[in-house]
Amino acid sequence: MLQKRIDDQPTISRQMVREAEAVFHNHLKKVGLKRTGQRDAILRTFIDTRDHLSTDELYRLVKKKDEGIGFTTVYRTLKLLAECGLASEVAFNDGVARYEHQYQRRNHHHMVCTECGSSVEFFSADIERIEQAVGRKHKYLPTRHTFQIYGICEKCQKKQKRA
């Protein structure tokens, strides 16, 4: 698993879980799908983690709580969570789609090492200002964005110098 996330809150409260469930349940209703215990278990497991999870990693975590949940259910639920804004997909240059929860999180960005795949999260008021300015210029109301910088981490740079 990749590096732990920097987050504004070390844990998510029960109230926040209920609010996230309400967002998810409203989305399910909007798209004509039913609320199920399995979907709720996947949501709670996902929101409770601070990792950038692949579908496989989330599936393994969920299976510890409910053996009856299948991989396809986890995969489809992650897509639903992304549709309603509770999750976003992040790419770390390793060919694996990973997801992180977005519920009540401020925008953050990633620096990703193209050699080892490690990542660092950071916050930038400058990027936020640019997002708002571009939105105003083009008459958009920005709701979210992704921003990733790819490069070579310090550890890999040192390895390259030694080689």
Q: Where are the domains of the chain?
A: 1-105, 106-163
Instruction: Decide the pairing of beta strands 87-91 and 109-113.
Output: unpaired
**Percent residues over pLDDT 70 in the chain:** 91
> To the nearest 10°, the Cα dihedral for 83, 87, 91, 94?
-110
For 1-105, CATH gives 1.10.10.10
Report the C-alpha dihedral over residues 148, 154, 155, 156, rounded to 10 degrees. Answer: 70
Q: What pLDDT score does 107 carry?
A: 73
Determine what percent of the chain is predicted with pLDDT higher than 90. Answer: 50
pLDDT tens per residue across span 4-15: 444 555 677 788
pLDDT, position 10:
63
Residue 161 pLDDT greater than 60, yes or no = yes
Same CATH fold assignment for domains 1-105 and 106-163: no
pTM for this structure?
0.74
Provide the CATH number for the domain formed by 106-163 in this structure.
3.30.1490.190
Q: What is the pLDDT of residue 6?
A: 40
Both structure tokens of 18: 């209920």
pLDDT band at 41 (very low <50, low <70, confident <90, very high): very high
Distance CA 145, CA 36 (A): 30
Asked whether the predicted pLDDT for residue 145 surpasses 60, the reply is yes
